[in-house]
Amino acid sequence: MEKSNVTTRTRAEIIAAILSVFKEDEELFADVLEELDDWNGFLSDDRWENMEELDEIFEGKSVTYILERAFYGYDADTWHTDSHGDKEFDAFNPNRNYFRFNGYGNLVSSNYKDYLDYCDKNTVETLEREYYRLDTITDNDELNELFEELDNAED
């Protein structure tokens, strides 16, 4: 009987490898999540949009409504800690590259698409179900191989 020299990884090891790729390349991770969001609305209100799209999104809204969204919003890139150790963010900054809405519908500005809160096992498992549809994965040799390996892995 011939022994196989092929080493198979567990699902947990493959998922860890995928997460490592995403943590090393946050821009790639953002592109993957946004493409997934285009398919199934995965990000919901957490999606970062280009600041140039702000006018289009607020078209037809009153000036008061828009000012309130900005006034009660914040800038995710600039903050300090208060005397209790809590983060206090600076005001929304329309000069940033991106914006999104917080849970209250107020504006959050940033120069970075920060999706690291999504960089976890649950997201990888969601991507596993859809990866063959996502060009950002199938066009990336390393990711495509990892997701194929994950797809064929045994529990």
* pLDDT tens figures, 10-37: 999 999 999 999 999 999 999 999 999 9
38 and 52 fall within a common domain: no
Convert the pLDDT of each residue in 111-143 to its tens digit.
Answer: 999 999 999 999 999 999 999 999 999 999 999
Same domain, 33 and 92: no
Whether the CB-CB separation of 30 and 43 falls below 8 Å is answered with no
Report whether pLDDT(5) > 70: no
Which domain does 87 fall in, by range? Answer: 47-114
Residues 19 and 39 reside in one and the same domain:
yes
Same structural domain for residues 53 and 38? no
Return the percentage of the chain with pLDDT > 90, whole number.
90
Mean pLDDT of 41-55: 94
For every residue of 42-67, DSSP letters joined together read: TTGGG--EEGGGHHHHTTT--HHHHH
Range of weakest confidence among 1-5, 60-64, 81-85, 93-97:
1-5
Stated length of the chain: 155
- Quick one: what percent of the chain has pLDDT higher than 70? 95
What domain count does the chain have?
A: 2
The answer to whether residue 14 is domain-embedded is: yes
Residue 80, strand partner residues: 88
Residue 2 lies in a domain: no
Q: Which residues contact 61 (CB under 8 A, 6 or more apart)?
A: none
52 and 110: one domain?
Answer: yes
Residue 60 shares a structural domain with residue 97: yes
Angle between the N-to-C axes of helices 11-24 and 26-40, in degrees from 0 to 180, rounded to the nearest 10: 110
In this prediction, residue 1 carries a pLDDT of 55
Tell me: do 79 and 108 sit in the same domain. yes
**Average pLDDT over every residue of 73-83:** 96
User: For residue 1, is it within any domain?
Assistant: no
